[in-house]
Structure 1
Amino acid sequence: MKKHIIAMAALCACMSAASAQTSVTIYGIVDAGITHVNNDGPNGGRTTVEAGQMQVSRWGFKGVEDLGGGLKARFGLEGTLLNDTGGAGVPTGNPSTTSLFDREATVGLTGNFGSIDFGRQNILGVLSVGMADPMGLAFAATSPNVLFAAMNHAGVYGAYGANGSGTALRQNNSIRYVSPSFSGFGFALMRAFGEQAGDSQRNSYVGASAFYNAGPLNLYGAYARMKNNPTNLAVSPDLLHSHAIGVKYTMSRAVLKSTYSENKLDSTGRKISVFGAGVDFPVAPAITLTGAFYNTRRSGDVKDDSQQYIFITRYALSKRSTAYFSYGHAATDRIVSATDINLAQGFVSVGSDSANRLTVGVMHMF
């Protein structure tokens, strides 16, 4: 009898040790608000309820297993939530398909050597402009840094890289390495494979980035090159070059942030650049004010320019819930045409050259 008790105790101890070495977390963000745009094209103003205003609504799973000796296995699965309609995932491609985990689907290892992950994941430019974005990646559907700097505009960048005709912001079939920090300095390398027979360069992505995180100063920089896959195999793939830098400086009473990016297409010389600057200013323990400015410019083939001014007030209801109010103004140098690239996509409508936006909403994290 004593032997059975000892055996059971040993088994329970082993199970406890195993469970202590492995963890799986379910997490997410549910964000929605009411928005009014005063000049939504020739038809006038428009009022809508939108999901993912302050942060994109999402849900996901992440897990880690301690393998010993400082080595850990990990995975991440994350998908978009469209909680204004109850939908999930973002349709991409032609014919259209919706991925359950459209934001991330990775598995990898992490340890003293850094980390290496395989699957669908963000491009390295997101680490540069994202960490220093003047709005903290708020209003992703209309943010110049998300649409152009991070290449989340499917109509402009969807053909480039291994993204399944979605947006170049995330790449399928990729491998990414991130180094450990060396006194604040580090770097990352990433490659996404187009998996096209006879030419591995078609629909491919290659990127590199460097960063510095020490004390109040944070610096980020990234470079990438992507290729498309012309339907005529006799035609060489077109090449897209991307550069992005970000700077964040934390002061006692404010956080200053600035970013710059440019993406240039070899075939036409088209270049789209985005400059952003902003400040976070806590005015009370639960209240933070944010002011941001963006200038988006097209050159090389067609000249165009757009500006956005955004003001945000965030009120922390708790550690996980935030209420927010925002005012935004956007203007373009010319009337937006249905046949051209809209540098104020999602903000200024076709037939207009400016718009004002008011938003009130709530964000909850779990």
Structure 2
Amino acid sequence: MVVTAMAIVSMSSEAEAQSSVTLYGIVDVGIEHINNTPSGGALTREASGNLSGSRFGLKGVEDLGGGFATIFRLEAGFNPNDGTSSQSTKGLGSNGSVTSRLWGRQAIVGITGKGNQLTFGRQDSLLYEQAVAFDPMAVASRYSLLSFDYATAGRVDSSAKYVGSFGPIKAAAMYSTRYDAGYGAETPGAELTGRFWSGALNYSTGPFAISVSYEQRNSNTVATNTAEERRATTGATFTVGDFKGYAGYRFLSVSDRFLPTNAIVASGAPGSSAANLYWGGAQYRVNAGLALTAVGYYQDIHGSGADPWLAVFSADYTVSKRTDLYATAAFARNKGKSALGVGGYGTVAPGYDQTGVVVGMRQRF
């Protein structure tokens, strides 16, 4: 019996050395207070997913030998305050269909090895990956770069992504045949409908890093599938001791007939079709437990005076290897009837400023 048990342990160890499957996740919840809501007055509520979207997932790797391995990741977002899925529905198509998502954050499979990786499925966009690294708030669900542009946390259906590392340079490319399945499947005879492609270059050496990316998506409706959204983005960071500085810029161009209507340019003057977004900030690690972050964002809508800005200050204190406590405050300044709230466009009464404060805790497992 002892011999049998030792054999089982031995076989398990060999299997683990060759492959593994890991359950992981984040639970993030807090209490938020904001003023000047679209319906008027102030609001205090329990808010889930503040610094990080709450999630759970499975990831796995199998060693193929020769430096190659197959990988997979299944990741679902959820709201801990009510137990619902964060991505249960996404996109309402012209045919009235709604896509339900079990693994709404990611659902990928691929192969990796020798500095190269190729994956397929629903996965993070290259702009999302860039924004996480070059936004001081790491594209937090609230009070971050995401408040200005939904695409900075973009996920792409039916996509193929390649990432290659070449010394200090990382190159990536991505293509999708229908980036939002909420509008239906690929359309025969209308190949441009819902098409998406993107590319990125990252350079990192010592304390300095810089990134450039470009993405283009076509409208999801057949009648307007030549209409496009284009984004060109760059970001840089520089680290000196416990201090890390950030700077970034995004240019957005939107075709007149792009559907759904882009909320960013729609917030400006009639006919607005482009916008510049600038940001800069810093993070300072006071000690092993406490990190302070400050950042400012400004969006310039072409041909319009509706140009809002957002200032954010955040303190994050690590109490254990898996748990941290945080407090974040933000102020959104609106001009020319712009309607940027601390949590994004349309979350404040038009032309009004908004202040938001959230305190909470986050646990990783």
TM-score where L is the length of structure 1: 0.85
Specify which of 18, 21, 24 is matched with residue 21 of structure 1.
Answer: 18
Quick check: 1:188 aligned with 2:179? no
Inter-CA distance 236–81: structure 2 relative to 1 (3 Å threshold): closer
Q: 1:177 aligns with which of 162, 169, 178?
A: 162
Who is 1:313 aligned against? 315
- Match of 1:192, as an amino acid? S
How far the C-alpha of 1:257 sits from its partner, in A, is 1.1
Tell me, in whole angstroms, the C-alpha distance in 2 between the residues paired with 1:61 and 1:69.
Answer: 25
Counterpart of 1:229?
220
1:207 maps to a residue whose letter is S
Deviations 1:170-201 (A, max 9, x none): 11110000002x22112001100132211322
Q: Is the 8 A contact 2:29 2:49 kept in 1?
A: yes
User: Are 1:39 and 2:36 counterparts?
Assistant: yes
- Would you say how many aligned residue pairs link Structure 1 and Structure 2? 339
Q: Is the 8 A contact 2:310 2:342 kept in 1?
A: no
| CA deviation profile, 1:243-292 (whole Å, cap 9, x unmatched) | 11111111113111112112201336611322111111112221111111
1:169 to 1:42, Cα distance in 2 relative to 1, 3 A: closer
Letter in 2 for 1:362: M
> Are the counterparts in 1 of residues 175 and 198 from structure 2 also a CA contact under 8 Å?
yes
1-structure distance, mates of 2:221, 2:282: 43
Instruction: Please state whether the residue corresponding to 1:87 is helix, strand or coil.
Output: coil
Deviation at 1:11, TM superposition (A): 7.9
Paired residue for 2:259?
none
Task: Give matches, 1:45-60, under 5 Å.
Answer: 45-60=42-57
1:175-229, CA deviations, whole angstroms, 9 ceiling, x for partnerless residues?
A: 000002x221120011001322113222011111000122111111101111113
Provide the TM-score with structure 2 as the length reference: 0.85
Once residues 187 and 112 of structure 1 are traced to their aligned partners in structure 2, the CA distance between those partners, rounded to angstroms, is 14
- State the SS of the aligned residue for 1:304: coil
Equivalent residue, structure 1, for 2:77: 80
- Give deviations 1:84-126, integer Å, cap 9, x for gaps: 1111232212243431111110000000150000000111111
Q: How does 1:207-222 map to 2 (within 5 A)?
A: 207-222=198-213
Structure-2 change in CA distance of 1:63 and 1:121 (3 Å): same
Could you give the per-residue CA deviations for residues 284-338 of structure 1, whole angstroms, max 9, x where no partner exists? 22111111100022115x442011111111111112111011111001113356x
Deviation at 1:30, TM superposition (A): 0.4
Matching of residues 105-254 of structure 1 within 5 Å:
105-138=107-140, 140-143=141-144, 145-149=145-149, 151=151, 169-180=154-165, 182-194=166-178, 195-232=186-223, 236-254=225-243
Q: Counterpart in 1 of 2:353?
A: 354
Quick one: distance in 1 between partners of 2:225 and 2:147? 26
| CA distance in structure 1 between the aligned counterparts of 2:176 and 2:104, rounded to whole angstroms | 16
Output the amino acid matched with 1:178: V
RMSD: 2.6
Alignment gaps of 5+ in structure 2: 179-185, 257-270
The alpha-carbon distance between structure 1 residues 299 and 97, as it changes in their structure 2 partners (threshold 3 A), is: same
Q: Which residue of 2 aligns with 1:92?
A: 90
Amino acid at match of 1:199: A
Moved more, 11-20 or 47-56: 11-20
Which residue, out of 284, 297, 305, partners 1:294?
297
Of residues 15-24 and 45-54 in structure 1, the stretch that sits farther from structure 2 once superposed is: 15-24
Aligned AA for 2:164?
Answer: S
Between 1:5-14 and 1:171-180, the stretch displaced more is 5-14
Kindly indicate whether the alpha-carbon contact (under 8 Å) linking 2:147 and 2:343 is maintained by their aligned counterparts in 1: no
Q: Is the 8 A contact 1:306 1:344 kept in 2?
A: no
**346-355 or 317-326, which deviates more:** 346-355
Query: Alignment partner of 2:119: what SS?
Result: strand
Contact residue 330 and residue 342 of structure 2 kept, 8 A: no
Code of the aligned partner of 1:82: N
Change (3 A) 1:362 1:7: closer
- Check 1:33–1:344 CA distance in 2 against 1; reply closer, same or farther (3 A cut): closer
CA distance in structure 2 between the partners assigned to 1:198 and 1:326 by the alignment: 49
Structure-2 change in CA distance of 1:258 and 1:135 (3 Å): same
Separation of aligned partners in 2, 1:248 and 1:259:
9
Asked whether the 8 Å contact 1:335–1:352 carries over to 2, the reply is yes
More divergent stretch after superposition (92-101 vs 50-59) = 92-101
| 1:241 Cα deviation after fit | 1.2
- The Cα of 1:136 is off from its aligned counterpart by 2.1
SS at match of 2:221: coil
1:287 corresponds to which letter in structure 2?
L
Rounded to whole Å, the distance in 1 between the matches of 2:252 and 2:130 is: 14
